[in-house]
A = this chain, B = another copy of it.
Amino acid sequence: MAEGQSTMSTRWNPTKEQIELLEAMYSQGIRTPSADQIEQIASRLGMYGNIEGKNVFYWFQNHKARERQRQKQERGVFGNQFLQPPSFSGASHTHTEVLPPQQQSAMAMPKVGSTLTLKEQKTYTFQHSQDSLCEPQTLELFPLHPTGIAEYRSEPVSAFGFQSSVRNRTMNENIDEQNDASSGGGHFHNFFPFIPQHPGK
């Protein structure tokens, strides 16, 4: 019996078999499995001990990140015998992957309805969601909300002293905006004064 441990660690501890399988998969080229794959993997590995999807997810994330990190760190000490020529496609980011270039990034994000260009905020009524967490925890630092309790927030909450410029946008339907393209570039965040537009890849 091992499941009855009182002081059971909250941390997942993979078994040898699980690690073997995970590494095998990794060596096959699997680096960021889809949710679907993750589930299957977890199910599979569940035969060797408890495991959840998140464990698989984290495992791959960490494994990949660490391999890359280690590769980057151990750079400059060994003579690159079979170094990969810098002219190897690359030109992307720090993608010094050693896996076969079987990558196809043909993603077509721009979907009708996906607000990619968020620039101006229209005064939309509001898009309340199933946020069941609408439980005011009695903020003591900020002025509490008026009295709205049962009423679904028809406003983001005026509790924080915002100027109540009720401007909530619904991410449905494109907000649309006829902003001049003089600035060029700039999409999405171009409105926010924060976050750099594009640091410069």
Contacts and interface: CB of A to CB of B under 8 A. Distances in A.
Contacts of A132: 29, 31, 97, 99-103
Chain A facing B: main interface SS:
loop
Given A17-B93, A25-B141, A155-B23, A107 B127 contact: yes
Protomer copies: 2
Contacts of A144: 28
Given A15-B96, A54-B194, A114-B124, A166 B34 contact: yes
Question: Counting chain B CB atoms within 10 Å of each CB, which of A23, A132, A139 scores highest?
Answer: A132
A181 interface: no
Given A27-B152, A51-B105, A102-B134, 14 more contacts: A3-B99, A5-B99, A21-B139, A25-B142, A27-B135, A28-B153, A29-B153, A35-B190, A37-B156, A40-B160, A40-B165, A49-B88, A52-B105, A57-B195
